[in-house]
Every structure is written in structure tokens, then in C-alpha cells.
């Protein structure tokens, strides 16, 4: 009998423990602390956990903002993910639109807008998919993020989801891209460089390709008696650097040289109609310099994140993969330029070829500085990069005399053919245009500053279109003390309202200016506060060399804010607040 009672007691204890354990687990499940992410101007609880991303079989890690799930759809940082797919990603600062291009296809998405433009056709993002939006772990650090499946599939990529690992897989469709870049060889497939260099006699004739390496560089030699400057193009997934030499040809139709270097795995070459093509298959981010050598053309390759920079001895130019505007000056036996929109790692690149001696890259709060040392005839233009000229301009002199006064550039955003954001009434009728409001406030700000002894330069004083580059160039050449850009905010959600001011966190003075303007707006208006925010992603803030701010006065998409913005009293109060904030900062 006692054994029966004992067994019953043990059973009861086990049952009680199981019940207690289940209840504890349920309690814990309901008390999981949520992460916080920031979008649509407020923090949101986030329970979805980590999402993994694999592009063409390669995990994408260390993203500035990890993928997140909103409404059961995965959102990803657009630039990092689509550049990993080999796309070109362009941010249009004036319209808050992202352009993604690849293989002749293009997708335009706008932050906060459900309508996208795909190959010139409007295609809406269907609900409940989230809109493209700025998302971050805090309002200071936000990334442009898009629904990955919608955008990737529109560009022809394959997208799949593995629930067990919570991983999104994105892959390029199978294609004959490599065959297009370098087709099948009609000649011998060279697996080793020739011991004897064959030197052609005629211009445009190429001979053998040979490869050597040391601890730092890979050297690719193209045997030829005449130097030819190539067009250089980069491809990703896998990494390749392509050199096209116009009006040149190899004696064979094509081939491959195995390299097994520091960066270069192999070199492929082929003849195309009107040019010879050389492809370097590289295993890492690689920097290429095109030099002259007794063996012919030398392509010197090294591991480096500074892939944008190229030196071509035959052009006698140091140039970039795209156009960058900078502020330059002559230095001892060279030329130095500071760029606010270019990001490179600190580096010294020794050339010492009789044309230039060294390229020095350094970074500071003012931006990325590049000095090319080796000639007092060097100059820089955005179109040609660093190059020799017989008539160098000694210094970039300001185009406007300061007369001892503080100089402020006032920038009325948008204008002319670009109306900016548009405010609509309840019937869908356009009742307010951002460009008109910006100009009215900007002119009043300028008048108040001039009345206080400040020299004012307007990027525009009428309804005219001015590009973002032209606005930044005007500010930089004028050597102004501050650059203040005036805008109206807009978002699809009509209930969002308030004022905010953007600044560059690397500029203490710019940050102080933003806070001063923001505080005065709150003191002199009844607008809802939406804080000062990091605006380093905005073109006019990151490319101007002077301290710069961008004022989002209020939301033209919100009815009460719009009434304030379109009223004479509201515009006058806003102008007075901005002017007061500027004067308090410069005095």
C-alpha cells in the first residue's frame, strides 16, 4: 500500500512540475523584451529577430542596418544589397528617390511613396507591403530600405525564403554574361606566362601577357611598343576588372593566363570588334594603376578599398570611376583637393614614374583630401581628375568679395521644372507647391540678414531650376561662412507634422547652427518638434565645404502645417526664426 501511495505521490509531483514549467514558459513568452527600430518619425517595437541575407550564394554581413520584417515583408538597405548584386544605385537627393539600374532595367522608388517607376512605367507597391522608408536603430542613423522581393524581382532576380534559418536568398538569373565579357577562346589557352616576351612592332599590336607578383603587388605586363590608355570597368559577383584598349588586338583571338597572385587569380584576354579586352579575375577589392614599362603596358594591382582611384601614365591623369567635385589648391610641386562626397581610406601610393611621384590620401572633419605630388603643372577638374596643364590655375579664388562681412548662402530648395513636394486638399486638388514656399521664406530670411550687416548669396531668387551640384559649387566657390537650405517636408501619412533641421555631425559649427535655428522655430511658432537630425546623407550637406544645414520647415502634406506654410504670417515667422538662429550663431 505504501508503495502505491509513493508512486502516486511521485506522479503528482511530476505532473505539478510539468504544469509549472509550461506556465513559466508561457509567462516568459509574453514578457520577451522587444527591440526598438525607428521609422516614420517614431520608434516601433520589433519582435521579428535577426534576418539573414545571402546574395548569389554569399552571406552579406556587417550591413549598416540589418534586414527587418515589417508587415511580414523583408526590408533591406537598398545601396549595399543591390550593389552586391552588381546594380548601379543612385540617390536623387532633390526628390528623395533611389534609382537602381542593371542590364538595361531601371527601378525608381521614392521614400514614403507607393508608386514606383519601372522602365518608365508606373507600378504601385501593393498593400500590405511596406513603403520604401528610412529605417534605423535611432533617428540619427537612418538607411533607405525597400521591400526586397518587390524590387529584386522587378529587376529579374530570383528571391526565396528559408524559414528554418530565417534567411532571404537573392540570386542573379543564369546568363551568358561571362561569355559576353570574354567569349570562348578561338586560340590557344595559355596557362603559364611565356618565358620570352614577344614585342610587336606596329602601334595597336599586342603580344604576350605575363604575370608576376611580390609581397605587395601583382604585375600584369602586356607586350607592346606603344602605350594605349584603356577604358576601365568593374564588375561584381564575381569581382572582375575589365580593360578595353581601343584599336588594339592580340595575335590570338583569346586565352587565359593563370596568376595565383595577391589579388589576381587569372588574366583573360580576347579580341573584340575595334578593341582588345583584358579581364582580371580578382579575389578581393583591388586597386589598379596603369603604368609604362620596358615590357610594354604594366597594370599594377594591389589590395585596397580605394578602388575608385585610377592612375593612367599614358593619359598622365589620376582620375576616379565617376565625377567628384572638390575644392583644390596648388601645393609644393603638386596639387591638393578636398572632397566632401568622396570616401576613401588613408593611403600613400608611390608611383615615381617621372610623371608623378606619389598620391597621398588623408581624411579629416573637412572631408577626404587627395594630394598628387610630382609636378608644379598639375591641376584638378571634375571631368578629367588630376592632370597636367601648361596653364594651371594657381588657386580657386572666391567669386564674391566678402567686404569683411559674414557670407551666408541661402538656398531655396527645388524650383522651375522641379516643384518639389505638392500639397493636396481633401478633393485631391493641388493647393501648395514646395518650391514657391521655399522661395518666399528664403527671400525674407535674406532681407533680415542683410538688414543686420550680413552678405547674402541666393542660389536662386526666382522660380528657376538649379541642380544640386550647382548649388554646392556656388557655396564652395563663394567661401561662405554658412550654407542654409530651406525646404518643406512631405510624407504619405497626412497626420505626420512638425519641423526638423538636418546637419552634418562632423561639423560642430553646423550642428550648433542647426540647434539654434531649430530652437528659434519652436519658440516662435506652434509647430510640433521633430528634433535636429543627422543629414550627412543629403547632397547639399555632404558636398558643401562650409557648415551647412537643411531646414524642413513643416509638412506640406499635413493640413495644419500646410495652412501655416501658405500663410503670410506663417512664412514671416519661419523666416524670422531662421534668420535669428543664424545671427545668434555668427555673432
| Joined grid coordinates for residue 114 | 507607393
Q: Report how far residue 241's alpha carbon sits from residue 571's, in angstroms, rounded to the nearest whole number.
A: 54
HSE-CB at 317 with a 13 A cutoff on CA atoms is: 15
**Lowest mean pLDDT across 121-130, 153-162, 179-188, 516-525:** 179-188
Burial class (CB in 10 A: 0-12, 13-18, 19+), 5: exposed
Question: pTM of this prediction?
Answer: 0.41
Has residue 475 got a pLDDT over 60? yes
Q: Report how far residue 414's alpha carbon sits from residue 436's, in angstroms, rounded to the nearest whole number.
A: 9
| Joined grid coordinates for residue 533 | 537630425
The pLDDT > 90 percentage for the chain reads 33
Q: What mean pLDDT do residues 387-408 have? A: 57
Q: Report how far residue 420's alpha carbon sits from residue 467's, in angstroms, rounded to the nearest whole number.
A: 13
**More confident position, 96 or 244:** 244
- What pLDDT, in 10s, does the model give residues 482-534? 999 999 999 877 888 999 999 998 889 999 999 999 999 999 999 999 989 88
Q: Which residues pair with 418 in a beta bridge?
A: 415
Has residue 400 got a pLDDT over 70? no
Has residue 444 got a pLDDT over 90? yes
Has residue 174 got a pLDDT over 70? no
Q: What mean pLDDT do residues 308-312 have? A: 92
> Between the CA of residue 114 and those of 127, 133, 266, 357, 491, what are the distances in Å?
9, 10, 45, 53, 11
**Lowest mean pLDDT across 227-231, 437-441, 452-456, 562-566:** 227-231
Q: What mean pLDDT do residues 60-79 have? A: 87
Burial class (CB in 10 A: 0-12, 13-18, 19+), 268: buried
Q: What mean pLDDT do residues 172-191 have? A: 45
**Lowest mean pLDDT across 10-24, 157-171, 425-439, 533-547:** 10-24
- Give the pLDDT of residue 56: 77
Q: Report how far residue 286's alpha carbon sits from residue 300's, in angstroms, rounded to the nearest whole number.
A: 10
**Lowest mean pLDDT across 43-57, 160-174, 311-325, 563-577:** 160-174
Omega within 30 of 0 (cis) for the link into 185:
no
- Give the pLDDT of residue 470: 85
- What pLDDT, in 10s, does the model give residues 252-300? 777 888 998 999 999 998 888 888 899 999 999 999 999 988 778 999 9
Q: Give me the chain's average pLDDT, please.
A: 82
Residue 479 backbone zone (phi > 0: left; psi -120 to 50: alpha; other: beta): left
- What pLDDT, in 10s, does the model give residues 102-130? 767 788 888 888 888 887 778 888 888 88
| Residue 139 CB contacts under 8 Å (≥ 6 apart), including other chains | 38, 41, 531, 533, 534
- Give the pLDDT of residue 512: 94
Domains of the chain: 36-171 (3.30.457.10), 206-304 (2.60.40.3500), 325-396 (no CATH), 407-586 (3.40.630.40)
Closest CA to 75 of 104, 103, 44: 44
Residue 404 confidence class, pLDDT cut points 50, 70, 90: low
Amino acid at each position: 500500500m505504501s508503495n502505491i501511495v509513493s508512486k502516486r505521490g511521485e506522479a503528482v509531483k511530476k505532473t505539478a512540475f510539468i504544469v509549472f514549467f509550461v506556465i513559466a514558459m508561457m509567462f516568459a513568452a509574453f514578457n520577451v523584451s522587444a527591440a526598438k527600430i525607428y521609422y516614420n518619425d517614431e520608434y516601433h517595437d520589433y519582435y521579428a529577430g535577426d534576418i539573414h541575407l545571402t546574395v548569389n550564394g554569399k552571406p552579406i554581413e556587417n550591413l549598416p542596418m540589418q534586414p527587418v520584417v515589417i508587415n511580414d515583408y523583408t526590408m533591406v538597405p537598398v545601396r549595399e544589397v543591390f550593389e552586391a548584386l552588381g546594380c548601379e544605385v543612385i540617390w536623387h537627393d532633390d526628390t528623395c528617390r533611389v534609382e537602381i539600374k542593371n542590364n538595361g532595367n531601371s527601378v525608381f522608388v521614392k521614400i514614403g511613396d507607393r508608386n514606383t517607376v519601372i522602365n518608365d512605367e508606373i507600378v504601385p507597391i501593393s498593400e500590405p507591403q511596406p513603403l520604401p522608408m528610412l529605417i534605423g536603430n535611432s533617428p540619427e542613423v537612418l538607411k533607405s530600405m525597400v521591400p526586397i522581393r518587390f524590387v529584386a524581382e522587378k529587376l529579374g532576380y530570383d528571391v526565396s525564403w528559408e524559414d528554418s534559418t530565417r534567411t532571404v536568398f537573392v540570386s542573379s538569373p543564369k546568363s551568358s554574361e561571362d561569355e559576353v565579357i570574354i567569349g570562348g577562346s578561338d586560340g590557344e589557352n595559355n596557362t603559364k606566362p611565356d618565358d620570352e616576351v614577344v614585342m610587336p612592332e606596329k602601334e595597336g599590336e599586342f603580344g604576350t601577357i605575363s604575370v608576376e607578383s611580390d609581397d605587395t603587388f601583382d604585375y600584369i605586363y602586356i607586350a607592346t611598343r606603344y602605350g594605349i590608355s584603356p577604358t576601365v570597368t568593374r564588375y561584381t559577383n564575381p569581382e572582375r576588372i575589365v580593360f578595353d584598349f581601343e584599336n588594339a588586338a592580340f595575335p590570338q583571338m583569346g586565352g587565359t593566363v593563370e596568376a595565383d597572385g595577391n589579388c589576381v587569380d587569372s588574366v583573360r584576354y580576347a579580341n573584340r570588334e575595334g578593341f582588345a579586352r583584358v579581364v582580371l579575375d580578382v579575389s578581393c577589392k583591388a586597386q589598379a594603376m596603369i603604368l609604362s614599362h620596358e615590357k610594354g603596358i604594366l597594370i599594377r594591382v594591389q589590395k585596397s578599398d580605394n578602388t575608385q582611384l585610377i592612375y593612367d601614365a599614358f593619359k598622365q591623369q589620376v582620375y576616379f570611376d565617376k565625377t567628384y567635385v572638390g575644392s583644390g589648391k596648388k601645393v609644393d610641386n603638386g596639387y591638393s583637393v578636398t572632397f566632401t562626397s568622396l570616401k576613401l581610406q588613408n593611403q600613400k601610393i608611390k608611383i615615381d614614374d617621372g610623371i608623378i611621384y606619389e598620391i597621398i590620401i588623408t581624411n579629416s572633419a573637412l572631408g577626404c583630401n587627395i594630394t598628387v605630388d610630382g609636378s608644379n603643372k598639375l591641376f584638378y577638374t571634375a571631368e578629367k581628375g588630376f592632370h597636367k596643364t601648361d596653364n594651371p590655375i594657381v588657386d580657386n579664388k572666391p567669386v564674391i568679395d566678402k567686404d569683411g562681412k559674414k557670407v551666408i548662402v541661402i538656398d531655396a530648395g527645388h524650383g522651375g521644372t522641379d516643384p518639389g513636394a505638392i500639397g493636396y486638399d481633401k478633393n485631391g486638388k493641388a493647393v501648395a507647391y514646395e518650391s514657391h514656399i521655399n522661395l518666399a521664406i528664403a527671400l525674407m530670411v535674406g532681407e533680415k540678414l542683410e538688414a543686420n550687416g550680413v552678405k547674402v548669396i541666393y542660389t536662386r531668387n526666382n522660380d528657376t531650376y538649379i541642380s544640386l551640384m550647382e548649388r554646392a559649387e556656388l557655396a564652395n566657390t563663394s567661401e561662405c561662412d554658412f550654407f542654409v537650405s530651406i525646404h518643406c517636408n512631405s510624407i504619405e501619412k497626412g497626420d505626420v507634422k512638425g519641423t526638423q533641421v538636418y546637419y552634418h555631425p562632423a561639423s560642430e559649427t553646423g550642428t550648433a547652427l542647426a540647434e539654434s535655428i531649430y530652437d528659434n522655430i519652436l519658440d516662435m511658432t506652434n509647430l510640433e518638434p521633430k528634433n535636429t537630425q543627422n543629414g550627412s546623407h543629403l547632397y547639399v550637406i555632404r558636398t558643401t565645404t562650409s557648415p551647412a544645414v537643411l531646414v524642413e520647415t513643416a509638412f506640406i502634406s499635413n493640413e495644419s502645417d500646410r495652412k501655416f506654410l501658405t500663410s503670410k504670417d506663417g512664412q514671416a515667422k519661419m523666416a524670422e526664426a531662421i534668420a535669428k538662429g543664424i545671427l545668434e550663431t555668427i555673432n
